[in-house]
């Protein structure tokens, strides 16, 4: 037991996980999602009835179907909106931002809200019964998870802009990080059987990070619309401090990368909008800035966005 505790402490130290936040006993995920949504509406000076579309983006949810978005939409009083979910693990928010941008460019919607509530993961999906060091290796990632909710409002018109998105998915690595369902083997019959405990999160973190880092660096280096454009600040999915440092050094953005992991842990799909909100508060992200967004996600998907503010 002492050896396992020491290994957990070492791995958390390597990850850089120092503080994580969790819901209070009297709070729910819907409570803080609605709080974030109302704050976003107030800051943008937009009435609830002006929102055309709500996208719920993230892993945190209370049911498989229907979508979580209608529950958030109703609680926020977005009476004129339609809504649906976008779920791609930690890449969900960036995917939702791309979808919102595409809808606005197609002149289908003018005002879109993106909400997530990455809450309840450690209670619902963590397996605290670790039997040996092999269990530690595939379960340790869940010890880094922190809870957060964010809301983002996207507005605009169909005129030209200089926002850019690109994604690559490497499906052969889908089994490196999962929350399996009981019928998981109907869809994927390979991998390490000991990992596949229904409703229990696992990640083969070492292999996942090795593959993701290589993919992120390769995609960035091969795309002149990313490496050929200067950015004032960079944000990423902060799975661990060490991995973020490795990636940002490799792509040349270590000096301007805004990290949230030490203070909040791995907040899943909320990590990038959380970082952007904090950077605005600190006046590191301001009107006229160009931001680079980097994400590596289970799937395995890597994605980038280059945004002008």
258-306 pLDDT per residue, tens: 999 999 999 999 999 999 999 999 999 999 999 999 999 999 999 999 9
Q: Is the CATH number 3.40.47.10 carried by domain 164-308?
A: yes
CATH superfamily of this structure's domain 2-155: Thiolase/Chalcone synthase (3.40.47.10)
Helix (H) or strand (E) holding 9: helix 2-15
Q: What is the pTM of this model?
A: 0.94
With a cut of 70, say whether residue 122 has pLDDT above it: no
With a cut of 60, say whether residue 191 has pLDDT above it: no
Whether the CB-CB separation of 17 and 262 falls below 8 Å is answered with yes
The two structure tokens encoding residue 215: 């993919």
* DSSP codes joined into one string, 164-218: EEEEEE-GGGGGGEE---TTGGGT---S-GGG--TT--EE-HHHHHHHHHHHHHH
Average pLDDT in the 150-166 region?
87
Whether the CB-CB separation of 117 and 58 falls below 8 Å is answered with yes
Average per-residue pLDDT in the chain? 91
Whether the CB-CB separation of 278 and 260 falls below 8 Å is answered with yes
- CATH 3.40.47.10 intervals, the chain: 2-155, 164-308
CA distances to 250, 291, 298 from 223, rounded to whole Å, are: 15, 16, 22
161-190 pLDDT, tens per residue? 789 999 999 999 999 999 999 988 888 876
């Amino acid at each position: 037991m002492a050896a396992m505790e020491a290994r957990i402490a070492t791995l958390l130290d390597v990850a850089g996980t120092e503080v994580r936040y969790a819901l209070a006993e009297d709070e729910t995920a819907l409570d803080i999602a609605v709080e974030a949504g109302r704050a976003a509406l107030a800051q943008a000076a937009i009435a609830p009835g002006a929102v055309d579309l709500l996208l719920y983006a993230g892993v945190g949810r209370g049911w498989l179907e229907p979508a979580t978005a209608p529950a958030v939409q109703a609680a926020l009083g977005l009476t004129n909106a339609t809504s649906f979910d976008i779920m791609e693990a930690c890449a969900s928010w960036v995917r939702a931002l791309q979808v919102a941008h595409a809808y606005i460019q197609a002149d289908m919607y003018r005002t879109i809200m993106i909400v997530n509530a990455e809450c309840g993961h450690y209670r619902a999906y963590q397996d605290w019964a670790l039997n040996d060091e092999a269990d530690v290796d595939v379960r340790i990632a869940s010890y880094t998870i922190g809870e957060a909710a964010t809301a983002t409002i996207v507005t605009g018109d169909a005129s030209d802009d200089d926002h850019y998105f690109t994604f690559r998915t490497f499906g052969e690595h889908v089994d490196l990080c999962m929350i399996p369902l009981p019928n998981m083997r109907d869809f994927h019959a390979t991998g390490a059987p000991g990992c596949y405990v229904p409703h229990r999160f696992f990640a083969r973190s070492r292999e996942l990070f090795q593959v993701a880092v290589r993919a992120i660096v390769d995609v960035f280096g091969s795309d002149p619309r990313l490496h050929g454009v200067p950015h004032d600040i960079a944000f990423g999915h902060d799975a661990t401090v060490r991995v973020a440092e490795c990636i940002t050094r490799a792509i040349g953005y270590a000096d301007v990368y805004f990290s949230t992991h030490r203070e909040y842990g791995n907040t899943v799909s909320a990590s990038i909008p959380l970082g952007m909100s904090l950077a605005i508060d600190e006046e590191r992200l301001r009107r006229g800035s160009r931001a680079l967004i980097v994400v590596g996600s289970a799937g395995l998907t890597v994605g980038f966005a280059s945004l002008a503010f």
